[in-house]
Amino acid sequence: MLTRATIERVVAAALAEDAPWGDLTSETLLPAEASARAELVAREPGVFSGGDVFAAAFALTDPAIEVELHVADGARFDVGDVLATVEGPARAVLTAERVALNFAQRMSGIATLTARYVAEVAHTGARIADTRKTTPGLRAFERHAVVCGGGHNHRFSLSDAVMAKDNHLAVLTAAGLSVTQALQGTIARLPHTTHVEVEVDRIDQIEAVLAAGIGTIMLDNFSLEDLRRGVEQVAGRAMVDASGGVTLDTVRAIAETGVDVISVGALTHAARGIDLGLDMHVGMPDAR
């Protein structure tokens, strides 16, 4: 969940990075009394995300700046659409401009890419989910953008759920326990509300994992044929999550195998920022 506290903490750090001792250019070139009105304009179509983040960049720079958002997060926009209006002291508006745009472009890019994946699987029951392959420090922002695009969030952090991968299972079974026994022992030590997901990379691993009573099984880098066989074998005893190298070209066929979830790291690690511009109009007070 993208909270106000998270927004302000991350945006404040970005502003401090970009102008650690102030904006030398604006402060030396622009009169202190100059005002500015700017419009956030779409240069290409997409799905909007990051409105509150965009506004926070200006508010934290100067509370005198007013930002009016014209579209909500999750809304689609077209070329030329005005997404927001910014008005206030010119120096402050220009100081915050780059940080505000960086966040809006990045988040809208993720939302737009996610929407493309979601559209590919809309005729199936599969949901598109993100992964932990996010920009360090920006996970809450990027995962909010995934939701804006119609996707779903996987576990937010290592603290949220159990997800056992091959290396975890290797350590667990080193003492001579079977995979089923090792997983059952782990589950017995967990609160009953904790979700458990286990990753497998071969068909012959499925039964031993299911026997432990896990909630989700992840079929990693399975062929389409093996995904279909895996879904049939699981037969509703757990949710089926498909992962591994998922692209826009392959996601439709993966969804059509009957899996419940498709985990797509590319939503956050490969999204291109949407081209948004801040069209600025600077004015001076009447000298009369």
The residues spanned by each domain of the chain are 4-117+272-283, 124-269
Among 117-121, 267-271, 274-278, 279-283, name the one with the lowest average pLDDT.
279-283
Q: Which pLDDT band holds residue 285 (cuts at 50, 70, 90)?
A: low
Q: What pLDDT is stored for residue 175 in this prediction?
A: 75
Average pLDDT, the chain: 94
Q: Is domain 4-117+272-283 classified as CATH 3.90.1170.20? A: yes
* Structure confidence at residue 282 (pLDDT): 74
- In this predicted model, what pLDDT tens digit does every residue of 121-164 receive, in sequence order? 999 999 999 999 999 999 999 999 999 999 999 999 999 999 99
Asked if the model's pLDDT at residue 224 lies above 80, the reply is yes
Please tell me the CATH superfamily of domain 124-269, with its number. Aldolase class I (3.20.20.70)
Q: Compute, in degrees rounded to 10, the torsion defined by CA atoms 187, 191, 194, 199.
A: -20
The residues annotated with a catalytic role in the active site are 98, 133, 165, 199, 220
pLDDT for 286 beyond 60 = no
Residue 288 is predicted with a pLDDT of 46
pLDDT of residue 130: 97
What is the tens place of the pLDDT at every residue in 9-57?
Answer: 999 999 999 999 999 999 999 999 999 999 999 999 999 999 999 999 9
Query: With helix as H, strand as E and coil as C, how does the chain read?
Result: CCCHHHHHHHHHHHHHHHCECECHHHHHHCCCCCEEEEEEEECCCEECCCHHHHHHHHHHHCCCCEEEECCCCCCEECCCCEEEEEEEEHHHHHHHHHHHHHHHHHHHHHHHHHHHHHHHCCCCCCEEECCCCCCCCCHHHHHHHHHHCCCECCCCCCCCCEEECHHHHHHHHHHCCCHHHHHHHHHHCCCCCCCEEEEECCHHHHHHHHCCCCCEEEEECCCHHHHHHHHHHHCCCCEEEEECCCCCCCHHHHHCCCCCEEECCHHHHCCCCCCEEEEEEEECCCCC
Q: What confidence score (pLDDT) does residue 169 get?
A: 80
Local confidence band at 284 (pLDDT 50, 70, 90 cut-offs): low
Task: State percent of the chain over pLDDT 90.
Answer: 88
Say whether pLDDT at 58 is over 60. Answer: yes
248 versus 170: the higher-pLDDT residue is 248
